[in-house]
Structures are given as C-alpha cells and as structure tokens.
Amino acid sequence: MFEAILVMAFGAVVLGAALGYAAVRFRVEGDPLVEKIDAILPQTQCGQCGFPGCKPYAQAIAKGEAEINQCPPGGEEGIHKLADLLGREFKPLSAEHGVEKPKSVALIDEQVCIGCTLCIQACPVDAIVGAAKQMHTVVAPLCTGCELCLPPCPVNCITMEPIGESVETWKWKYPVFKINPAQREAK
Amino acid sequence: MSALQRLFKFHGGVKPAYNKEASTGLPIAVAPASTLLVIPLHQSIGGMPRPLVKAGERVLKGQRIGGADGNASSAVHASTSGTVVAVEMRLMPHTSGLAALCVVIEPDGRDEWMERHPFDYRSASPTQTRDYLRDAGVVGLGGAVFPTHLKLNPGKQGKLDTLVLNGAECEPFITCDDVLMRERAETILKGAVIMRELLAAGQVLIGIEDNKPEAIAAMEIAARAVNQAAGDSAMKVVAVPTRYPAGGAKQLIRVLTGIEVPHGKRSTDYGVQCFNVGTAYAVYEAIALGQPLLSRIVTVAGNVSGARNYEVLFGTSMRDLIALCDPLPDSDRVIMGGPMMGLLMPSDDVPVVKATNCVLVGSKKLFPPPPPEMPCIRCGECAKACPSDLQPFEMYWFSRARIFGKAQEYNLFDCIECGCCAYVCPSHIPLVDYYRFAKSEIWAREIEKEAADVARERYEFRLLREEREKQEKAAKLAAKTAAGREKAAAALAEATKPAATPEEDAKKALIAAALERAKAQKEQVHPENVSNLTSEQQAEVDAIEARRAEIREMAKPHLRQDD
C-alpha cells in the first residue's frame, strides 16, 4: 500500500517536472492565433477597419472585440478565410468600413509636388522617398495601396492608379462552357 | 554499330492523329522578313530584358536590343539590320491578348551583320560561357523557352552521365525538329559536342520518335561521323516508340534511361540533362559562329494548302508567314504550338518569337468546337492517360471548387499540361483549362502573399523605428535636464564644502599665485596719460576727482535706500 503511494507520488513528481520543464522550454512567444489571423490579413495597413494597422485588428479579432468583416482590401475571400479559421459565420463586408476596390498604387504628380514630406510621414510601409523641398516619389512595388497618403497632401498631387494586367500577371480564367454556341453563331 | 539500347516506358500517353506528312514534303525555306519586325523583349522565362536601343537608332543584324535582367534572363537581338521605329507596347503572341514592350524594327533589306566572333569556350570558364550564351539569347527551342545557360550546368558532381537530345517531337502537326534533323544533322551534333563538353557528359542519347525514319537515318549518319572523329561511341541515336507525349523532357528521360525524376528534383541530380535538338543547333551557331539566336524553324500547318517549314526571323508577323502557305478561306483562328498544348492567339498579327515552334491555322472543320462539358463520371481514364502519374480527376475537382491547397497537394505543379487527360475524357471536360486556371490563381496568391510579407516587415520596422526615435528623443531631453541639475548640484556643493582636500589646496595656491603675478604686472604698468602733467592739468584732474567724490557722497543715501 505504502509502496504503491510512493510509486504514484514519484510518477507524479517526475511527470510534473517534465511538464514544468516543457512549459518553460517550449514556450510559445506571442499569441499564435493573432499570428494566424495576421497572416490572412492583406497587410495593407490602411486602417479602414478602425484599427491602426493589420496587427492591432488581428489582436482585436482574436480577443473577440472586432468583427471579421471590417477589412475591405482583404475582400470576401479574406472574410471566408477568417470565418474558416475562427469557426465564425461568414458575413458580407461591412459597408461602413469601405468597399473592395481593385488593387492600385499611389502615384505622385511630380510636377505639382511641393516636397512637404507629409505623405512620407503618413506612409505606413515607408514606400515614399523624398526630402523636404525635394520631389517625392512612390516606390510602386512597395506601395500597398492603403490611400493614407492622399488626405495629408496639401496640393492633392497623389492619385491612386489601378494596377493593370500584364502578360506576366495575367490569369487563366475559370473555364466556362458556352451553353449555346450554335445559336450565337446563327445571329 | 552498338548493342540495342534498352528502352523503358512512361506511364499513360495517347496516340492522336499525327498529321505530320503535309509539312515534311518540302525542304526548309527562308521566310522573307515582314515590312516591320516586332520583337518582344520578354521572350523567355525569367526577368524582363531592358531595352538597349531607342527609336530612330540604326541596328545591325545580331545587335543586342534587350539586355538580360539578372542571371535568370536572356538577351534579345535585332533579327536583321534596319532602323528602330519604336520601342512600345505591342500585342503579344499570348492567349491573354495583352501587350508588352517590343522593339519595332523597319528592315533596310541589306541584312547587314554586326561583327561576329566565335567564342572560345575551351579557354573560358564555365561561368563566362554561360554568360556568353545568356547574352547570345540562347533559350530552349522545344517550346518552354527556358534559358539554356541555366541548364548548361553539370550540378554538384561536376559531370553528368547522359546528355539527352530531344528530337521526339510528339505533338501533332509540328515537324520543325524533324526537318531540322533531316537537313542539318551535322550542325545539331556539332552543338551536341559542345554541350557534352560543357556538361562533362559521358554519353549523348538522341531520342527520336520512330515515325521519323528520315530524321533517324540522317542523325545516325552524322552521329557515326562524329563518333569516328572522336574515336568513341558517345553519340547514340535512339528510336523511341511513337506515343504522345514522348517529347516531354521527363518522359523522354524515362524512356531512354529508365530514370524517373521525382517531384521537386532536377534531372541533373540523377546525372541527366535534356535539350531540344533545335537548342543544340542554336548553341553551335552562338559559340562556333558567334551568331546570337535570331531565327528558328517554324512549321506552318493546319488549314493551309501549302504546309511547310520556314526559317523565320523573330519578329516576323504570323500573318505574313501564313500568307506564304495559302491559307484556306474558312480559317478562323491561329494557334501557336500544336493542337494539344498550343495557345490560341488573340489575332494573326502577332510576331513569331523564340517559343513559336508551329503556327497552326485552324478552322471549325479542322478543330470542331468541343461537345458540351458533362459531369465527371469518375471513370479514371484520365489517370490512366496521365504521363506524369498524377490523378487528374482529383486535381480537377479541387481546381473546379477553387480548393487550391488540396489541388497542390495532388501535385498540380507537376502537371505538364500535355492534354492527355482532356483528350481521353469521355465527358469532354477541358481539364487542362482548369489546371491552368488553378495554377495561375495559386501563382497570383503566392505573389500577393510575398507582397504582404514585405509590407508586414516594413510596417513593423517602421513601428520599431518610430519607437526608437521616440526613445532617443526622450533620452536626449533627459540627458539635457540631468546635465543642468548636475551643474546646479555641483555649485551648491562647492558653496557648502566645509574643508578643502590637500589637492584642492594646491589648486587654490596655484590660483592665488597666478592672481599675485597678475597684480604685480598691473602695478608695473602705469597709464601714460597721468604722468608728467602740467600744474593746470593736475588742478583740473583734482577738481574732477573732487566732483566725483561729491557725487558719490550725494548718491550714498539713495543707494542705501535702494538696499
């Protein structure tokens, strides 16, 4: 009887020590759920969701403080992915946070730019280069199309240009079979 | 000559109607250059070459007009001499119907070459040779246009067992490799000798489908001559059974060597590398003659009465090329490539590029519209036909349902888009269209994800930088105020110090001595204007002094009041 208790107690101590060690050794830094949500978000850092960036929005979603349909750049597909990840119901994009737009990049009209650096300060991904009283320009491959540089510009010289398709980025379309090609030809 | 080569089989495949006879009756003809040559800058896989010429410039035949952008890219050259009319966006020979940057050259008709020098690859390093081939614009001419210099690398071992020359040409209608082998076998093998040397390959296996007896005969004669000259039996021409797609690189390697290159590996990992016969020809021209890749053999076939192979300068309009072959009046489409893998062209006014092995003219009669797509009945015929050992029906379901992750798990990217599955499908499902759709969606997502990762990194760095700047500012401010406080504290300490240390005594003594010296010096110096005064002057001075004393006396009570 006593031996049995001893054996069990010993087992409990060993396992407890092992678990305790594992808890310290394999500790996960940060919140894995936030990371997963953040990976789905488009990283536009536009703030249209009402949070100052994609990460804060991801944290809010993880805490259950925000809905999953507040990200216009992520679009319907992003909402579907978030719904799948979190086991929540799909909701259409909330209208108050904006609408899904084709992906665009900012373009500075360099003739009009006065070199005030306000857009440089506004850009969340440091995609605008320039200096005070010098012309500014957007590094297009880095621009996320967040539109945050538009409001601070005192001379309204920034426009959003939609990214057109090129031969390299062109996508094969979903195969659609024409129901009645014979009729169409007859016309 | 040698023992019979043991052949292996690849899985699946189909036997479509070959339709090759029409274009093999006549020898290769040189197609005249169009009135305008439109040469796209981006003709191969890899980075987009930079334009090196401007509108109005005169160019010579073979002059580089597009410089390779990085190593995984390939240069582009002027196909003939003339004047650059424009560097602008022109319609590309691509199903999308989109435009891309092209150099438009108006030929002057003189066809004047630039200076050509053979490249001494024996005394050059392998890297130099590869750079040379990159700048000569040599790419794979089998249809995939992969830059050849990237493939001419023997890998880690520094040598290969087998160099495979691909003359199988399995796709219906296309005969450009066939006629090239018939007419220019020696040149192809000279190229193969160079490639073999660069790759340090043990043997060269030339795989040709057995429906091309003339090509096999011509290549055998040439191979015998090469073997005799070299005194070995490295070059072997092997007739392979005719079955589509025997000309796929992995399939031909499998048939010739029995090696099955697994997913995610390269054939060089197994000591094999595969090139098209046309590529070997281009390598010879580039290295031995110093001529960059400017033209290729193009089969014009299909709904034409005069199907034939032409040597065509890149940039020649397909419309001009087709006009040479008397197209039938009911022609309604142009396909680049063959009927199985070819791409439908948006118009016939697109240029011939390095990837154009065949210009196939189609009509409703020749290629009737496919019957309606029926539901998949899960018969498994597609899996039986797949030469890549995939499960096409699984990939189809997941692609159709847009579950791309699952489609990828079924190795969608190992699909070579040969079309065998769609060919045998009893429900007439355009399977390859679904795979192409899924592949391009996956690629787009991949690119988007990369962009998002970059954006996240940059955003986080910005936050970090802002935080750091804030801290630095705060630290500076704190340092400033701390310094002020310290000064004040030091002054206070000085005032309230009770006793001086011996060191400070010494300092004080020094200061006192210095003051003493200054005083003595001052005493030695007298103001000049108060000596040797006349009595009048003295009296005046005394009066002034007296007035001053008086004023001082008068001011005293006020000063005290002020206090």
Distances in whole angstroms, Cα of residue B91 to Cα of each of B77, B78, B242, B339: 19, 18, 36, 22
User: Among all chains, which residue has been given the structure tokens 């003189």?
Assistant: B110
Residue B528: the pLDDT is 63
| Cβ–Cβ < 8 Å for B275, B163 | yes
Residue B156: the pLDDT is 78
Same domain, yes or no, for A127 and A158?
yes
Share of chain B above pLDDT 70, in %: 95
Nearest to A43 among B98, B430, B455 (CB): B455
CATH number of A89's domain: 1.10.15.40
Residue A187: the pLDDT is 44
DSSP string covering B293-314: --EEEEEEEESBSS-EEEEEET
Whether residue A142 and residue B452 make contact (CB cut-off 8 A), yes or no, is no
Parent domain of A79: 32-97
Whether residue A45 and residue B440 make contact (CB cut-off 8 A), yes or no, is no
Question: How far, in Å, CA of A117 to CA of B505, rounded?
Answer: 59
| pLDDT (mean) for B115-131 | 92
Whether residue B454 and residue A173 make contact (CB cut-off 8 A), yes or no, is no
Residue A179: the pLDDT is 58
Nearest residue in B to A178, CA atom? B372
Count of Cβ atoms closer than 10 Å to residue B192 Cβ: 28
Q: Which residues of chain A have pLDDT under 70?
A: 177-187
| pLDDT (mean) for B348-373 | 92
CATH number of A139's domain: 3.30.70.20
Position B266 pLDDT exceeds 50: yes
Residue B312: which of B54, B93, B69 has the closest Cα? Answer: B93
Position B221 pLDDT exceeds 90: yes
Enter the ipTM.
Answer: 0.81
Count of Cβ atoms closer than 10 Å to residue A137 Cβ: 15
Same domain, yes or no, for A78 and A127?
no
Same domain, yes or no, for A92 and A108?
no
Same domain, yes or no, for A38 and A80?
yes
Answer whether residue A80 is part of any domain: yes
Residues 6+ positions from A81 with CB-CB distance below 8 Å: A40
Whether residue B441 lies within 8 A of chain A, CB to CB, comes out as yes
Q: Tokens standing for A161?
A: 């240009």
pLDDT in tens, B492-523: 877 666 555 666 677 788 888 888 888 888 77
**Residues in chain A, overall count:** 187
Pick the CATH number of B21-362 from 3.40.50.11540, 1.10.357.10, 3.30.470.20, 3.20.20.370: 3.40.50.11540
The secondary structure of B259-275, three-state, reads CCCCCCCCHHHHCEEEE
Whether residue B372 and residue A177 make contact (CB cut-off 8 A), yes or no, is yes
| pLDDT (mean) for B231-246 | 92
Question: How far, in Å, CA of B241 to CA of B301, rounded?
Answer: 24
Residue A123: the pLDDT is 93
Whether residue B458 and residue A142 make contact (CB cut-off 8 A), yes or no, is yes
Nearest residue in A to B45, CA atom? A168
End-to-end distance of chain B based on CA atoms, in angstroms?
Answer: 130
Residue B403: which of B434, B448, B449, B447 has the closest Cα? Answer: B434
Residue B494: the pLDDT is 72
3-state secondary structure (DSSP) of residue B172: coil
Confidence of residue B563 (pLDDT cuts 50, 70, 90): very low
Q: Tokens standing for B252?
A: 């031909």
Q: What is the mean pLDDT of chain B?
A: 90
Position B3 pLDDT exceeds 60: no
Nearest to B459 among A43, A141, A165 (CB): A43
Separation in Å, CA of A169 to nearest CA in chain B? 7
Whether residue B58 lies within 8 A of chain A, CB to CB, comes out as no
Confidence of residue B562 (pLDDT cuts 50, 70, 90): very low
Residue B560: the pLDDT is 55
Answer whether residue A76 is part of any domain: yes
Burial status of residue A170 (CB atoms within 10 A of its CB: 0-12, 13-18, 19 or more) = middle
pLDDT in tens, B38-87: 999 999 888 889 999 999 999 999 999 999 988 889 999 999 999 999 99
- Report the number of distinct structural domains present in chain A: 2
Residue to mutate among A103, A123, A166, A179, with most B CBs inside 10 A, is: A166
Answer whether residue A10 is part of any domain: no
Whether residue A144 and residue B94 make contact (CB cut-off 8 A), yes or no, is no
Residue A78: which of A59, A50, A54, A52 has the closest Cα? Answer: A54
Whether residue B448 lies within 8 A of chain A, CB to CB, comes out as yes
Residue to mutate among B96, B403, B429, with most A CBs inside 10 A, is: B96
Answer whether residue A181 is part of any domain: no
Same domain, yes or no, for A91 and A117?
no
Q: In what order do the strands lie in the sheet with B295-302?
A: B29-30, B308-313, B295-302, B358-363, B331-336, B343-344
- Choose the final residue of a domain: A97, A124, A142: A97
Question: How far, in Å, CA of B537 to CA of B547, rounded?
Answer: 15
Contacts of A124 in chain B (CB under 8 A): 459, 462
Phi, psi of B104, deg, nearest 5: -100, 120
Domain ranges of chain B: 21-362, 373-476
Whether residue B454 lies within 8 A of chain A, CB to CB, comes out as yes
Q: Tokens standing for B334?
A: 């142009």
Residue B6: the pLDDT is 85
3-state secondary structure (DSSP) of residue A123: coil
Contacts of B453 in chain A (CB under 8 A): 43
Chain centre to alpha carbon of residue B250: 23
- Choose the final residue of a domain: A74, A97, A120: A97
